Structure 1
Amino acid sequence: MDSKLEPTVEGNRIASLDAMRGFAIIGIYLVNMLSFHSPYVFIDPLEWWGKGIDRIAYLFIDVFAQASFYPLFSMLFGYGLMLMRERAIGRGANFTVFAARRLAFLLAVGMVHAFLIWPGDILITYACVGLLLLFFLRFSGKALLILALAMYTVPNLLLGLLLLLADVAGPTVNLWETYKADAQQALAVYGNGSFQEITEMRISEWIFLNSPETIPITLFSILPLFLFGAAVAKLRLLEESGRHLKKFKAAAFGLLLPAMALKTLPYYGWEGYSAEFFQDFFGGPLLALCYAGMIVLGAGKFEAVAGWLANVGRMSMTNYLFQSILSTFIFYGYGLGLYGKVSAAQGTLLVFAVFFIQIAVSSMWMKTYRYGPVEWLWRSFTYFKVQKLRRRGNA
């Protein structure tokens, strides 16, 4: 039975879907770069990058990228798993087996990434939450959509209101003061430490970022986004995008104003953690939907740009891991040791330089090969069958 399911062939791919993945890759890199070159987790960014072009660069990332691209990528992840399930059922294959192997590979890669490359890894979270997603994929598209909206909105709105009450009740404690020692330790270890010292710091930081207290917040932010993407797949909105142009126009333009209003909340003079919470947890996903709608509407009009992004998106894991490997080599002590010595503006320029290279390399690679190298390994493990890598004309 298992042999009945094969990977998606090129002719059946949805161009706008791959373009969204490619677009998400650069947005994720913009946000991650702040942590690659500086102790972003332990600093007040508006104080650290508080002047001139660095402040402008940070504000650009905070408003247009922060908390807006991981929701987009999370929706795409849920979309992909649902698409795989629908194809498996159509061919009478055992979807659960394939999905379990797919998530197991993702977990293994995530562990290597988190503990040996960079502690800000998202793949471990995707693999673990992805297992929970499997229980919901049998629901109808409408049920998935309602569940996603309820699961995301209710707990996050309650938490946001609690934070708002705390802000109104009195002045908030400046947590950044308590993290000053951690910031200095990160500067010393990542900038000048040995590989072993940096690995120990990576593990310590990963545990800090993924403490038990963060589990409910992670669960009620990531799982609903997975469910939303799965609902879009089951409702066939992208496959039949021509029939749903009004929905994509509403997402692209109707949500833009409320998204930007929320994304700029902390800059209205609203002080406290509640402003940042509503900015990220509500403004971020709304802006992600705007981006998705714009890509669907623009894919046919800007075919060359969409094609470049799609090539990057078809190699999304390879490109994601490459960004981490290259960046940590540039900034960490076992590489060039530039940690803490690069500004927000310089880091942003580096992101665009690397991404343009990734566009060129991905486009050349996809002319000869069907998948990126990591994607090829992932697919071969998922289907327990070595996939054809080279295209027929180049075999």
Structure 2
Amino acid sequence: METIQPLQQKERLFILDAIRGIALCGILILNIGGFGRPFQASRHLLVYNETSHADLASWYVTNFLVEGSYRGLFSMLFGAGMLLLVHRLAKQHPGLAAADIYYRRLIWLLLFGLFNAYVLLWFGDILYAYALCGLFLFPFRNSSVKLLVALAVFCFAVTVYKGWSRTDERLAVRNRAHAAMQLEKQKKPLTDKQQEDLKAWKMIEEKSSVTKLREGARKKISDMQKSYSDIWQHLAPLIRSFESTKMYDGFFFDVMLFVFLGMVFYKTGILTGDKPLWLYGVFVVAGYIVGFGWGILEGNAYRAVNFDYYRYLEVRPVKIEIYQLHRLLVTCGHIGLIILAWKSGWMDWFLKPFANVGQMAFTNYLMQSVLCTLFFHGYGLGFYGKLTRSELWYVVVGVWVFQIIFSAVWLRYFLYGPLEWVWRSLTYWKRPPLVRGVSTTVVPAA
């Protein structure tokens, strides 16, 4: 009888696990603000008068230097992982079996994403988005690099257009309101539309004032210091928004852009270190010098206008939407640096702990939700809103250390992470071996 089996240990690619582990740890740098502080203070240093060098450096790093890059790296690994899985399944058993396993796996991923969002209460869950995006990938498993690049360019264009249109509409509201103000000063009557524009702009100005932001932050902290059921009711609308409106409005293309690029980078050997060293050097130089330099200029512009978002849109160095290009550059910088370290031959001691984390990425991703919500939420230790921007790094490093140690110890005795094993069991309808040195029967092919 032909069989389909989960990925065996000898088939794993060390460098992909290492990149995945570093991406997972890096994601927490950006997520920690959502876990532990009100969004009103995310980009605005004056809400809490954060003036220390440590807070300022943290503000630059999280908002302008690496923002979105580790998520981009994680998304690339999702695309590469899809190709690894379906090609291995196709070799074992041609026909519908590969699709059956692949889509069954995605359905469970979607359910785990809903669990992360609605039970563990992490509104920024990415698993749900990956599951939905993954539904569209199977037909492209054998696509040419040229087609995949074209699809990535299309997704890039969509995200740029959507970003530009949102910015253009915001500025249009302000400009119409300013025109209405001039008419008011001239004692001229306003049309109903002009009155609506003026009212909308005054509401925007009021909500964006430091006073209102502080009030909103205080209320947010109060809401997050309550019981599990109260916090669930508070976060449920935000979770629904993330997994419906925001997902289908633009985040789908945001994810698919890097998933397609991950497929390209895997097919061309970039992610597996098969390209010449000079290419990875170019990735590091272009990615970090241009990407970080660009980010610093953006941050300087934001500070120069005293965190006024609308004035920032006017004075920022580049007037077009650059978010995706910036994070792509920095993501490529990460890839170049990691692979150069690996190819050097003397950095395995550094990469191995992250490869362990990456081998258990599913477990560790959900573990971050458990650890952080219990640390910050009111039904746990209740540290929400109590740490400064720079103090959040202590939590980040603490979680990293715990997960690195936990992953190393667990994989010493077991073949898979605990949730990886559960996911495989549900996907293949049979329990694969878990303890090292213990074997079981293989899974009958569907």
Q: Percent identity?
A: 28
Give the 3-state SS of the residue equivalent to 1:224 in structure 2: helix
Does 2:262 correspond to 1:229?
yes
CA shift for structure 1 position 278: 4.2
- For the pair 1:295 / 2:338, whether they are aligned, the reply is yes
Q: 1:373 to 1:71 in 2, by over 3 A?
A: same
* Structure 1 residues 352 and 110: CA distance shift in structure 2, 3 A: same
Which is richer in helix? 1
Q: Given the alignment of the two structures, is residue 25 of structure 1 paired with residue 28 of structure 2, yes or no?
A: no
Number of the residue aligned with 2:161: 158
Gaps of 5+ in 1: none
Q: Deviations over 1:155-190 (max 9, x none)?
A: 233344446656877679556457766544421121
- Give 3-state SS (helix, strand or coil) of 1:46's partner: coil
Q: Distance in 1 between matches of 2:426 and 2:279?
A: 37
Map 1:94-113 onto structure 2 (within 5 A): 94-113=97-116
Offset, 1:220: 1.6
Does the 8 Å CA contact 2:287/2:329 hold for their aligned counterparts?
yes
1:15-94 to 2 correspondences below 5 Å: 15-40=14-39, 44-48=43-47, 50-52=50-52, 53-93=54-94, 94=97
Deviating more after overlay: 317-326 vs 305-314: 317-326
Look up the SS of the partner of 1:329 in the other structure. Answer: helix
Q: Deviations over 1:200-250 (max 9, x none)?
A: 1121221233452552311221112111112222334444x2444343232
**Contact in 1 for aligned 2:19/2:335 (Cα 8 Å):** yes
The farther-off stretch of 174-183 and 55-64 is 174-183
Kept in 2, the 8 Å contact 1:263–1:280? The answer is no
Residue 328 of structure 2 is matched in structure 1 by 285
The residue type paired with residue 51 of structure 1 is T
Rounded to whole Å, the distance in 2 between the matches of 1:132 and 1:327 is 32
SS at match of 2:253: helix
Provide the secondary structure at the position in 1 that maps to 2:46: helix
2:116–2:125 Cα contact (<8 Å) kept: yes
Matches within 5 A, 1:175-190: 176-177=208-209, 183-190=217-224
User: Which deviates more, 212-221 or 117-126?
Assistant: 212-221
Q: Distance in 2 between matches of 1:164 and 1:328?
A: 33
Aligned partner of residue 345 in structure 1, secondary structure = coil
From the superposition, tell whether residues 339 and 164 of structure 1 become closer, same or farther in structure 2 (CA, over 3 Å): closer
CA gap 1:365/1:249 in 2 versus in 1, 3 angstroms: same
Query: Measured at CA, do residues 163 and 202 of structure 1 come closer, stay the same or move farther in structure 2, by a change above 3 Å?
Result: closer
Counterpart-to-counterpart distance in 2, 1:176 and 1:281? 25
Gaps of 5+ in 2: 176-200, 303-310, 441-446
CA RMSD of aligned residues (A): 2.8
**Is 1:253 aligned to residue 285 of structure 2?**
yes
**Distance verdict in 2 for CA 1:122–1:180, change over 3 Å:** farther
How many residue pairs match? The answer is 391
* Contact 1:262 1:279 survives alignment (8 Å): no
In 2, the alpha carbon distance for the partners of 1:273 and 1:183 equals 24
Query: Does the aligned pair in 1 maintain the 2:41–2:47 contact within 8 Å?
Result: no
TM-score (norm 2): 0.80
The structure whose Rg is larger is 2
Q: 2 CA distance for matches of 1:366 and 1:290?
A: 29
Query: Where do 1:183-202 residues align within 5 Å?
Result: 183-191=217-225, 193-202=226-235
Task: Give, in angstroms, the shift of residue 356 of structure 1.
Answer: 1.2
Q: Is the 1:78–1:226 Cα contact (8 Å) retained in structure 2?
A: yes
CA displacement 1:330-383 (0-9 Å, x = unmatched)? 111111112111111111111112211211111111111111101111122222
2:355 equivalent to 1:322: no
Which segment is superposed worse, 270-279 or 205-214? 270-279
The alpha-carbon distance between structure 1 residues 273 and 206, as it changes in their structure 2 partners (threshold 3 A), is: farther
TM-superposition CA deviations, 1:78-106 (whole Å, max 9, x none): 11011111112222242211111111111
Contact 1:317 1:374 in 2 (8 A): yes
Change (3 A) 1:213 1:330: closer
Q: Cα–Cα, structure 1 residues 84 and 269, in superposed 2: closer, same or farther, change >3 Å?
A: same
Q: Distance in 2 between matches of 1:273 and 1:205?
A: 26
Deviations 1:275-330 (A, max 9, x none): 59845322112101110121111123301111011001111111111111111111
What is the CA distance between 1:115 and its match in structure 2?
0.8
Counterpart residue identity of residue 425, structure 2:
S
Q: Which residue of 2 aligns with 1:11?
A: 10
391, 394, 398: which is aligned to 1:349?
Answer: 394
Contact residue 25 and residue 320 of structure 1 kept, 8 A: yes
Per-residue deviation at 1:132? 1.6
User: Aligned equivalents of 1:185 and 1:209: distance in 2?
Assistant: 21
Letter paired with 2:90:
I
Assess, with a 3 A threshold, how the Cα gap between structure 1 residues 209 and 264 changes in structure 2: closer, same or farther. Answer: farther
TM-score, structure 1 normalization: 0.89
SS of the aligned residue for 2:301 comes to coil
> Is this contact kept in 1: 2:47–2:214, CA < 8 A?
no
Q: Contact between 1:106 and 1:124, CA under 8 Å: does it hold in 2?
A: yes
Kindly state the Cα deviation for residue 268 of structure 1 after the two structures are TM-superposed. 3.6
Cα distance 1:257–1:190, how it changes in 2: closer, same or farther (>3 A)?
Answer: same
Contact 1:104–1:127, Cα closer than 8 Å, also in 2: yes
Report the residue type matching 2:338 in the other structure. I
1:273, CA displacement in angstroms?
4.9
Which secondary structure does the structure 2 equivalent of 1:386 belong to?
A: coil
Q: Compute the displacement of 1:122 (Å).
A: 1.1
Aligned to 2:430: 385
**CA positional deviation for 1:251:** 1.8
